[in-house]
């Protein structure tokens, strides 16, 4: 939606959301805000220039016009319905599985990102045959890795681990160093 379309819809009493139903555009007296209905914090709909949208045009939509943003990711990694039921649609949608035995678990682990939470420690993906890889490198080779995982050609189960202090850990895909939490990383890059 363009800025004019958003304003017109709000003025006409329609409910306009940004990205998900948690963020609602509200207007009064010519002032328009994007309000987080979770905690009532708000930002202006536009920058101070009054014409530059805070956000992308296609992230704004009128209530009922879109179905793609009915889900949200809970802090425990479950994908939930974005309504009052908060029903879990997929458990552990983004979740660091310490042992990875299926493509689903691998995808969920990659979705959760290359840093442990809490703590922010760097993670890597390992195989039971001793190979190690960056998250990014696993993503780039995802289909063949899932194929191997499924057929146990090269790997048994894989695992996701924190690299606390191994400064000599290298990725078997790109041959670059894998970041460590407490090791001396001075040589990196
Ligand atoms: Zn790599």
C-alpha 77: how far from its chain's center?
A: 10
For residue 91, report the distance from its CA to the centre of ligand 1, in Å. 28
- Residue 99 and residue 46 in one domain: no
For residue 138, report the distance from its CA to the centre of ligand 1, in Å. 8
For residue 114, report the distance from its CA to the centre of ligand 1, in Å. 12
Q: 49 in a domain, yes or no?
A: yes
For residue 136, report the distance from its CA to the centre of ligand 1, in Å. 7
For residue 188, report the distance from its CA to the centre of ligand 1, in Å. 13
Q: Give per-residue pLDDT as tens, 57-98.
A: 988 999 877 655 577 888 788 988 887 788 888 899 999 999
- Average pLDDT value for residue range 139-164: 85
- Residue 124 and residue 188 in one domain: yes
Contact 131, 74 (CB under 8 A): no
For residue 132, report the distance from its CA to the centre of ligand 1, in Å. 8
Q: 109 in a domain, yes or no?
A: yes
Question: Buried (b) or exposed (e) across 123-138, using 16+ Cβ within 10 A?
Answer: bbbbbeeeebbbbebb
- Can you name the residues that pair with 83 across neighbouring β-strands? none
pTM of the model: 0.61
- Average pLDDT value for residue range 148-172: 86
Element holding 105 (H helix, E strand): helix 103-111
Pairing of strands 88-90, 79-81: antiparallel
For residue 92, report the distance from its CA to the centre of ligand 1, in Å. 25
| 2 contacts: CB under 8 Å, gap ≥ 6 | 57
Pairing of strands 16-18, 132-133: unpaired
For residue 179, report the distance from its CA to the centre of ligand 1, in Å. 10
Contact 47, 54 (CB under 8 A): yes
Q: Count how many domains the chain has.
A: 2
- Residue 56 and residue 100 in one domain: no
- 23: which 2 tokens? 């963020």
Q: Rg of the chain over CA atoms, in angstroms? A: 22
Q: Give per-residue pLDDT as tens, 3-30.
A: 999 999 999 999 999 988 889 999 988 8
Domain range for residue 29?
3-62
- 87: which 2 tokens? 């029903």
Model pLDDT, residue 69: 56
- Residue 109 and residue 25 in one domain: no
For residue 175, report the distance from its CA to the centre of ligand 1, in Å. 6
């Amino acid at each position: 939606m363009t800025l004019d379309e958003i304003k017109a819809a709000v003025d006409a009493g329609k409910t306009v959301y940004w990205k998900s139903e948690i963020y609602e555009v509200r207007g009064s007296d010519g002032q328009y805000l994007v309000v987080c209905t979770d905690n009532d914090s708000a930002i202006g709909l536009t920058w101070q220039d009054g014409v530059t949208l805070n956000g992308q045009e296609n992230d704004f939509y009128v209530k009922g016009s879109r179905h793609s943003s009915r889900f949200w990711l809970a802090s425990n990694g479950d994908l939930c319905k974005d309504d009052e039921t908060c029903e879990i649609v997929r458990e552990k949608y983004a979740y660091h599985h310490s042992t990875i035995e299926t493509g689903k678990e691998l995808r969920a682990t990659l979705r959760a990102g290359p840093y442990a939470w809490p703590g922010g420690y760097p993670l890597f993906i390992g195989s039971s045959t001793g190979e190690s890889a960056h998250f990014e490198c696993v993503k780039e080779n995802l289909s063949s890795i899932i194929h191997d995982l499924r057929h146990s050609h090269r790997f048994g189960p894989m695992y996701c681990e924190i690299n606390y202090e191994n400064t000599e850990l290298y990725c078997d895909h790109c041959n670059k160093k894998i970041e460590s939490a407490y090791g001396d990383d001075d040589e990196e890059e």
